[in-house]
Amino acid sequence: MNKVKYVYFFGGKTAEGKADMKNLLGGKGANLAEMCLMGLPVPAGLTVTTEACTAYYANNAQLPDGLMDEVWAGMKKVEEAMGMKYGDAENPLLLSCRSGARASMPGMMDTVLNIGLCSATIPGLLKKTNNPRFVYDSFRRLIMMYADVVMEKAEGHEFGIRKQLDDMLDKYKHSKGYKQDTELTADDLKFLSDEFKKKVKEVIGVDFPDDARKQLEGGIKAVFKSWNGKKAISYRRIEGIPDNWGTAVNVQTMVFGNMGDNSATGVAFTRNPATGENQFYGEWLIDAQGEDVVAGIRTPNPLNDATKNDQNKHLHSMQELMPATYKELDNIRMLLEKNFKDMLDIEFTIQEGKLYMLQCRVGKRTGVAALNMALDMMNEKLIDSKEVVMRLSPAQLDELLHPILDANDEKKYTVIAKGLPAGPGGAVGIVAMTSEKAMEYRAKGINNILVREETNPEDVEGMRAADGILTARGGMTSHAALVARGWGKCCIVGCDAIHIDLARNEIKINGKIYKEGDTLSLNGTKGWVYDQAIQMIDATENPRFQEFMKIVDQHRTMGVRTNADTPKDAQNAINFGAEGIGLFRIEHMFYGENSEAPLAKLRNMILANNVDERVFALNELEPFIKATAKGTLAVMDAKPLTFRLMDPPLHEFVPQTEDKQRELAKEKGMSYEEIKKRIDALHEVNPMMGLRGVRLGIVYPEVTRTQFRALFEATAELMKEGKNPKLEIMVPLTINVNELKHQKAIADEVQKEVEAKFGVKIDYLYGTMIEIPRATLVADQIAEIAQFFSFGTNDLTQMTFGFSRDDVNAIVHEYTEQNIIPADPFNTLDQEGVGELIKLGVERGRKTKKDLKIGVCGEHGGDPASVEFFFNAGMNYVSCSPFRVPVARLAAAQAAIKAKK
Ligand code: PEP
Ligand code: MG
């Protein structure tokens, strides 16, 4: 039988896995193997594959047959590599059990350390180390973690055993007059271990397993179970990690950073993850185990001079206290970057002076850091320009476009507290003291700052909901700092001036009390806190951003246009790199700024009683359309501009309440009853499927005529002024070619008139939106007349799903929550449904016209995943709102690079 291999060995200078086996071994397992192959000092161990995890779940939460046999066989090799034996009475080897999924999920799953300590192995370890304090400290930690992770959480209980044991420890320390854990003696720890075991039995009702083999099996199962823990599931939802990936388990020989003053543990980044600077950056703690650094329990020491800041400069660095080991580590840092060609985040332990590497993975970074590192690494010839483009995710680029505190305004205020700058950028909002509150504020659209005692992975959803995060404790490498940075959230940690009183729901900073709802501003780049609302500005002027975007455009083949309807928006979009306007919605001039005058004329047109009245009103309206069109064409000079004929149902432009209708009646010198009658006549049960789009132009051809005349005249005038307007006009909501023919006949007539009047020849493109499913099916016929297609994916989604785009929010929310659909189809394109229709439309359109120009102007044009789809569907361009243009440019370049690979 061809049995599946579930267990992979690594250790010494060999490994059964390697870096590119992340899907099977998880990120951690694959990189541990790779580090072994690189010859780095890695404690030997085994990786139990992600496939074993999926098999475990497929098998009703039972380990697959033979898995533990494979583990025990693998353990023989581990024992050989380390010269120790698991469960041995003389020379016992201890293990850690850690999760490790394909994508890093920092702190979201569980870990158990010191596995293998039991009455059979403790005497041997005592004899071997001659360090009873260390042995009992390790043992009490094992009991605490094992009871919490394996005996409680993995079994689905909620006893709060961890807190109860923590409280016992605190009480004991207090009774002895100790302040620090390090003051506990071997006898204290031995006593506490016994007490802990009793407590575990009392609370959980099961004995702590005094058997090394049972402990390991329990540890592996618990890690598998933690894949489906609450926080892991929340994190996966946010990050879009599929539930069926599963996690690997890394079972690795323990090395100890808690064996006294020549032992230590630390976490580091090969470059600064907040700014991207090329400096080794990290934190360490002497006489501690790894979790102490990342859990944010003690504020750690700086690794080196580069890591020192206002908060930790009085603490000793590793560079100062262990210069030789530091040098060795710094050398490993360089080897790792050369091998992985990226910034890595590493965990290490020093056991009695000997350095061990416990983990390395591609490090999470802010958008600014991603940008700086990518460009630096290209200059260092570590990566090429293609890779530079791939190194910044669209979300990180988006983050760069996000605001920071305005330095000029910031100067006016006093800093009330300083902390560690864990996530740069700025945030202004009101205080939320719990995750729930932050989520509540977010739901109401209120900007908020989540203020917490320490960084805690349980808060993941609140962190997501907050605009900024501020904590009293924790270091730069604490879990929450990592998570916040990964999301580009403004975050300040270790701000010890803050005293939080959850019972009273208040925060004290330097004697002043702040309550939930009070305003704070954070400068996450410096770690400064203010109690005023400071102005924000955007960060795009950064010259490195410009340099990066230039490289992006070198690799981009698909065009990126913008949706804009005013000269101002058009200019804005050009500044963001838009190459044209893909959608100018004519009706937008009747909303918002300066819309009163044209709206009044439009209303006259809508409420006209007959054709003559309507034509009179339209003639008055025409100059307004012409002026906006001309202004925008002038800004876009030589860049194409697609005007879309008026689309929405007319009732949208007339008042719906009695008050307003009476006002309008007065304005127009008509009776209220008459106005009401005419407005009521416009009523449609389902207006989005009624008299809108091209149907308006068919029913009222004079409406079409006016729009064409305004656009042609604007163009003719600009031509006469020596400008180069690139006019495109498209018809909305088309269902067949006859509609296009009908409107084209009007356009042709008007064109002749305008050309004669101005003595110029107008060259323009006549196209259509494709936004009704039927149009995609008859696209071959439509392409006989249309010179270009622009997919309106908003309406196409609406009509394909039968989801009203204006009303369906709550339903879509429910559907995504319950996993009935994977995402909101109005945000990210439904590729298997709407996407298929688009492919069909492209294919049929180009069957008629091989080089038919095709673009997209629905909201999806700015969504990175959708942009990739449009690229692969063969679109010539996407068009999106001005602020999303850089993101669309990046997504288009990345799609082109991926397609070539
Ligand atoms: C669309 O439907 O995708 C579109 C761009 O048009 P509108 O949003 O104006 O309906
Ligand atoms: Mg539409």
Cα(771) to ligand 1 centroid in Å equals 8
Q: Which helix or strand (DSSP H or E) is residue 46 part of? A: strand 45-48
Looking at 383-505, which runs of residues are DSSP E strands? Answer: 403-405, 417-418, 420-423, 426-432, 448-452, 468-471, 490-493, 498-501
Q: Which ligand places an atom closest to the C-alpha of 694?
A: 2
Which atom of ligand 1 is nearest the CA belonging to 793? 3
Identify residue 516 by its one-letter amino acid code. Answer: E
Cα(791) to ligand 2 centroid in Å equals 9
Contact assessment for residue 641 and residue 765, using Cβ atoms and an 8 Å cutoff:
no
Going by pLDDT thresholds of 50, 70 and 90, the confidence category of residue 486 is low
Q: What local confidence, expressed as pLDDT, does residue 1 receive?
A: 44
d(CA 405, CA 525): 10
Contact assessment for residue 59 and residue 84, using Cβ atoms and an 8 Å cutoff:
no
276: left (phi over 0), alpha (psi -120 to 50) or beta: left
pLDDT tens, 18-59?
999 999 999 999 999 999 999 999 999 999 999 999 999 999
Q: What local confidence, expressed as pLDDT, does residue 817 receive?
A: 81
Contact assessment for residue 885 and residue 573, using Cβ atoms and an 8 Å cutoff:
yes
Tokens of 119: 């009455």
What is the distance of C-alpha 405 from the center of its chain?
Answer: 21
pLDDT tens, 193-238?
999 999 999 999 999 999 999 999 999 999 999 999 888 888 888 8
Main-chain dihedrals φ then ψ at residue 764, nearest 5 degrees: -145, 165
pLDDT tops 80 at residue 454: no
Look at residues 738, 849, 733, 724 and name the one whose alpha carbon lies nearest to residue 794. 733
Q: What percent of the chain has pLDDT over 90?
A: 73
Cα(858) to ligand 2 centroid in Å equals 7
Going by pLDDT thresholds of 50, 70 and 90, the confidence category of residue 295 is low
pLDDT tens, 620-635?
999 999 999 999 999 9
Q: What local confidence, expressed as pLDDT, does residue 459 receive?
A: 77
Which atom of ligand 1 is nearest the CA belonging to 790? 5
d(CA 117, CA 92): 8
What is the average pLDDT across 288-302?
A: 73
Instruction: Choose, from 479, 588, 651, 860, the residue flagged as catalytic.
Output: 479
d(CA 391, CA 820): 32
Cα(817) to ligand 1 centroid in Å equals 26
Which atom of ligand 1 is nearest the CA belonging to 585? 9
Close Cβ partners of 690 (under 8 Å, ≥ 6 residues apart):
649, 684
Q: What local confidence, expressed as pLDDT, does residue 477 receive?
A: 62
Q: Does the annotation count 479 as an active-site position?
A: yes
User: Where do runs of H (alpha helix) occur along 529-647?
Assistant: 543-555, 567-575, 596-606, 611-636
Q: What local confidence, expressed as pLDDT, does residue 299 receive?
A: 73
Higher pLDDT, 584 or 420: 584
Q: Which ligand places an atom closest to the C-alpha of 733?
A: 2
Q: What local confidence, expressed as pLDDT, does residue 688 receive?
A: 87
| Ligand 1 and 583: CB distance under 6 A | yes
Which residue puts its alpha carbon closest to atom 8 of ligand 1?
A: 794
What is the average pLDDT across 673-677?
A: 92
pLDDT tens, 73-98?
999 999 999 999 999 999 999 999 99
pLDDT tops 70 at residue 485: no
Which atom of ligand 1 is nearest the CA belonging to 795? 2
Q: What local confidence, expressed as pLDDT, does residue 395 receive?
A: 83
| Ligand 1 and 793: CB distance under 6 A | yes
Cα distances from 72 to residues 78, 115, 251, 497, 714, in angstroms, run 10, 14, 11, 51, 81
Q: What percent of the chain has pLDDT over 70?
A: 96
| Ligand 1 and 739: CB distance under 6 A | no
| Ligand 1 and 771: CB distance under 6 A | yes
d(CA 690, CA 405): 47
| Ligand 1 and 399: CB distance under 6 A | no
What is the average pLDDT across 772-785?
A: 98
Q: What local confidence, expressed as pLDDT, does residue 408 receive?
A: 77
d(CA 733, CA 436): 44
Q: Provide the 10 A C-beta neighbour count for residue 488.
A: 25
Look at residues 105, 111, 110, 102 and name the one whose alpha carbon lies nearest to residue 26. 102
Q: Mean pLDDT of all residues in the chain?
A: 92
| Ligand 1 and 794: CB distance under 6 A | yes
Cα(418) to ligand 1 centroid in Å equals 47
User: H/E/C letters for each residue in 424-440?
Assistant: CCEEEEEEECCHHHHHH
Q: What local confidence, expressed as pLDDT, does residue 591 receive?
A: 73
Cα(147) to ligand 2 centroid in Å equals 58
Query: What's the pTM?
Result: 0.80
| Ligand 1 and 792: CB distance under 6 A | yes
pLDDT tens, 643-668?
999 998 888 888 888 998 999 999 88
Which atom of ligand 1 is nearest the CA belonging to 794? 3
Q: Which ligand places an atom closest to the C-alpha of 790?
A: 1
From 561, 584, 585, 863, mutation site for ligand 1 pocket: most ligand atoms within 8 A of C-beta: 585
d(CA 149, CA 666): 74
Q: What local confidence, expressed as pLDDT, does residue 293 receive?
A: 66
pLDDT tens, 829-863?
999 999 999 999 999 999 999 999 999 999 899 99
Q: What local confidence, expressed as pLDDT, does residue 590 receive?
A: 86
| Ligand 1 and 565: CB distance under 6 A | no
From 587, 730, 770, 771, mutation site for ligand 1 pocket: most ligand atoms within 8 A of C-beta: 771
| Ligand 1 and 585: CB distance under 6 A | yes
pLDDT tens, 870-886?
999 999 999 998 878 99
The SS3 assignment for 22 reads helix
Instruction: Choose, from 53, 857, 860, 880, the residue flagged as catalytic.
Output: 857
pLDDT tops 80 at residue 161: yes
Cα(771) to ligand 2 centroid in Å equals 6
d(CA 92, CA 123): 10
Cα(506) to ligand 1 centroid in Å equals 47
Which residue puts its alpha carbon closest to atom 6 of ligand 1?
A: 792
Which residue puts its alpha carbon closest to atom 3 of ligand 1?
A: 792
Look at residues 548, 518, 723 and name the one whose alpha carbon lies nearest to residue 636. 723
| Ligand 1 and 835: CB distance under 6 A | no
Which atom of ligand 1 is nearest the CA belonging to 583? 5
From 583, 826, 854, mutation site for ligand 1 pocket: most ligand atoms within 8 A of C-beta: 583
The SS3 assignment for 802 reads coil
Q: Provide the 10 A C-beta neighbour count for residue 358.
A: 25
d(CA 451, CA 438): 9
Cα(309) to ligand 1 centroid in Å equals 51
Q: What local confidence, expressed as pLDDT, does residue 476 receive?
A: 65
